[in-house]
Amino acid sequence: MDRKKEIIKDVLIGVGFAVMIVLFVITYVNYREVQIASKVYVNYVPESITVNGGSANDFVTAVDNARKSVVEINATLSTGTSAGSGVIYASDGSVTYIVTNFHVIENATSFKVILYDGTTIDDVQLVGGDEKQDIAVLLVKGTYTTVSVRQVAGDNAIKLGETVFAIGNPLGQLGGSVTKGIISCLNREIKVQNEVMNLMQTDVAINSGNSGGGLFDINGNLIGIVNAKVSATGVEGIAFAISIDNATSIADELIETHTHSATTFEVTSVGYIAGRTELGFEASYTALVSGFFVSDTGLFVTSCDTELQAYASGLRQYDKIVSILKGGVETQMNSNDVYLDFISELKVGDKITLNIVRNSTNYSIDITVNQKIYQI
pLDDT digits (tens, 9 = 90+) for 81-108: 999 999 999 998 899 999 999 999 999 9
Those residues whose C-beta lies under 8 Å from the C-beta of residue 85, and which sit 6 or more positions away, are 70, 71, 72, 73, 100, 104, 167, 168, 169, 175, 209, 210, 211, 212, 213, 214, 226
Of 211, 231, 243, 284, the catalytic one is 211
Question: For position 180, what pLDDT does the model report?
Answer: 97
Domain count, the chain: 2
Report CA torsion sign: 297, 302, 304, 309.
negative
Mean pLDDT in residue range 286-314:
89
Residue 297: what pLDDT?
Answer: 93
What pLDDT shows up at residue 30? Answer: 39
Pick from 43-47, 291-295, 307-311 the range whose average pLDDT is largest: 307-311
**Residue-wise pLDDT tens digits, 147-163:** 888 876 666 789 999 99
To the query of whether residue 269 is one of the catalytic residues in this protein, the response is no
Phi, psi of 337 (to 5 degrees): -65, -40
Same domain, 183 and 311: no
Same domain, 18 and 150: yes
pLDDT score for 57:
79
What is the rounded average pLDDT of the residues 354-360?
96
The stretch 284-289 carries a mean pLDDT of 87
Q: Quick one: pLDDT at residue 204?
A: 97
Q: Are residues 66 and 173 in the same domain?
A: yes
DSSP code of 114? E
Within a domain: residue 1? no
> Can you give the pLDDT at residue 153?
66
User: CATH number of the domain that 126 lies in?
Assistant: 2.40.10.120
Alpha carbons 162 and 151: distance in angstroms, whole number = 14
pLDDT at residue 26, as a whole number: 52
Same domain as 177, residue 72: yes
Q: Return phi, psi of residue 103, to 5°.
A: -70, -15
Residue 321's domain comprises 277-371
Task: Indicate the length of the chain as a whole number.
Answer: 376
Of 212, 243, 274, the one marking the end of a domain is 274
Strands 351-358 and 329-332: unpaired
In a domain, 2, yes or no: no
Q: Is there a single domain that holds both residue 232 and residue 295?
A: no
Higher pLDDT, 105 or 295: 105
Q: 231 pLDDT exceeds 90? A: no
- Annotated active-site residue 134? The verdict is yes
Q: Is the pLDDT of residue 46 over 70?
A: no
In a domain, 3, yes or no: no
- Quote the strand ranges of 66-205, DSSP E: 70-77, 80-91, 95-100, 108-114, 120-121, 124-130, 135-141, 163-168, 177-192, 195-202
Q: Do both 221 and 143 map to the same domain? A: yes
Instruction: Tell me the H-state helices in 209-367.
Output: 244-257, 309-312, 336-344
Q: Is residue 218 part of a domain?
A: yes
At residue 357, the pLDDT reads 97
Q: For position 55, what pLDDT does the model report?
A: 64
**What pLDDT sits at residue 244?**
94
Mean pLDDT across the chain: 85
Q: Please, which pLDDT band fits residue 25 given cuts at 50, 70 and 90?
A: low
Catalytic residue chosen out of the listed positions 130, 134, 203, 217: 134
Say how far apart CA 9 and CA 2 lie, in whole Å: 17
Is 103 among the residues known to form the active site?
yes
Q: Report the pLDDT value the prediction gives residue 85, as an integer from 0 to 100.
A: 97
Q: Is 353 a residue whose pLDDT tops 50? A: yes
For residues 118-125, average pLDDT: 96
The reported pLDDT for the residue numbered 155 is 64
Domain end marker among 274, 302, 332:
274
**Cα–Cα dist 339/323, whole Å:** 9
User: Which of 242, 274, 306 lies at the terminal end of a domain, its last residue?
Assistant: 274
Q: What is the pLDDT of residue 9?
A: 33
pLDDT beyond 90 at 23: no
Catalytic residue among 82, 85, 103, 284: 103
Name the nearest CA neighbour of 353 among 318, 323, 309. Answer: 323
Average pLDDT over residues 102-116: 96
Q: For position 326, which CATH number holds?
A: 2.30.42.10
